[in-house]
Amino acid sequence: MSLVLNPLQNCLAKEIKLPKKLSVGDIKKQFPGARVLKVSPEEFEVYKRRYAENVPVVVPVANRTYNPCSFDKGYQPGSLIEQKAQYYSEHPEPMPGLDFDTNWWNWSGSSSDGKEILVIVAVIGVVVVAALVVYSVSYIVTMAQAGFKCEVWRDLGARFSYVQDNSNTQIRSGRMNGLYYSQGFIVPFGVMGLTGEVGQHDLNMTVKATSEERQFKGAYFLAGPSFTIPFGRLGGPAFQIELLAGTSSESNIGLMSTLRLGVEFNIENRFSLGLNIGAALINVRDFDNYIRDNDQLNFLSGMATSFRW
């Protein structure tokens, strides 16, 4: 059966009995501007009763969760069937959505911000450094008790580091440039040393929620264990790992710590050039009420050059 609706009043205009072979297009030609809806006999009775009660006809919208063809033949005004038909025609259900924004390797600030990877690397790095410290100290103590002296290793160099972070709550960028001195002992796996670093930092920070910007400049002081593990002979290309901690002369910055993993290339066993990546923990007190604790962890990259004797 066909239902013809008045386009202005959205109510039943006329009940039409049409030949079976008459198309919807033919109906529209006969009633210009009207809406034509094909309905089942059960649905037609529902709309007819509503028209008799002077209730505007609500046309069910296609592709809804509820199937209007499931009407019972026995209609009663205000029945649950009619309520469902009206509700689903007036309240379309949203399509289920999928979140394609997650980027597990996004180092520039997705929902995961790349922090999961950075935290894992930082934790593993701290554990490795702690294990190397325990091993190296025990080795040096054992050698000293046996009356042997370990050969001394000294490095003096400069570092140029770039700090970067773009999380859900903040944006950080800046530089940490300084001089460092390292002195240590040659152990079976390479060199275990103690490194001290002084320099200047220039850190820019923006809180996304408030668009508040701050710039922090000052001197920093770091110290901690460092290790050089050669790929072959000592003095050749080597892997480096170090964990330093300290603070800054800037009053709004508390603890500062850096974990660096890098590769070093030597020239004539005296000069070296290295590239490194890692993490920098920078506790900015002025923003603690805006940012999450793990947002104090930043990506760190840079290069270093040194002279050894």
- Kindly list the structural domains of the chain, giving each domain's residue range(s) and its CATH number in brackets, ordered by start: 2-90 (no CATH), 115-308 (2.40.160.20)
- Burial code (b: 16+ CB inside 10 Å, e: under 16) for 211-250 equals eeeeebeeebbbebbbbbbbeeeeeeebebbbbbebbbeb
Number of Cβ within 10 Å of residue 301's Cβ equals 16
- For the cut 80, the answer to whether the pLDDT of residue 287 exceeds it is no
Number of H helices, E strands in the chain: 4, 11
Q: What is the pLDDT of residue 253?
A: 87
d(CA 240, CA 99): 39
Positive or negative torsion for Cα 240, 242, 248, 254: positive
Q: What is the pLDDT of residue 58?
A: 53
User: pLDDT band at residue 185, thresholds of 50, 70 and 90?
Assistant: confident
Q: What is the pLDDT of residue 308?
A: 84
Task: Please state which of the ranges 46-50, 177-181, 258-262 shows the lowest mean pLDDT.
Answer: 46-50
What is the pLDDT averaged over residues 150-166? 90
d(CA 105, CA 91): 39
Q: What is the pLDDT of residue 13?
A: 45
- For the cut 70, the answer to whether the pLDDT of residue 187 exceeds it is yes
The residue among 151 and 223 whose pLDDT is bigger is: 223
Taking Cα atoms as reference points, which of 174, 278, 176 lies closest to residue 226?
A: 278
Q: What is the pLDDT of residue 242?
A: 94
- For the cut 70, the answer to whether the pLDDT of residue 131 exceeds it is yes
Q: What is the pLDDT of residue 6?
A: 46
- For the cut 60, the answer to whether the pLDDT of residue 289 exceeds it is no
> How confident is the model over 44-86, as pLDDT tens digits?
777 666 666 555 555 554 444 444 454 444 445 555 555 555 5
User: pLDDT band at residue 122, thresholds of 50, 70 and 90?
Assistant: confident
What is the pLDDT averaged over residues 171-194? 90
- For the cut 90, the answer to whether the pLDDT of residue 162 exceeds it is yes
Q: What is the pLDDT of residue 79?
A: 54
What is the pLDDT averaged over residues 229-249? 89
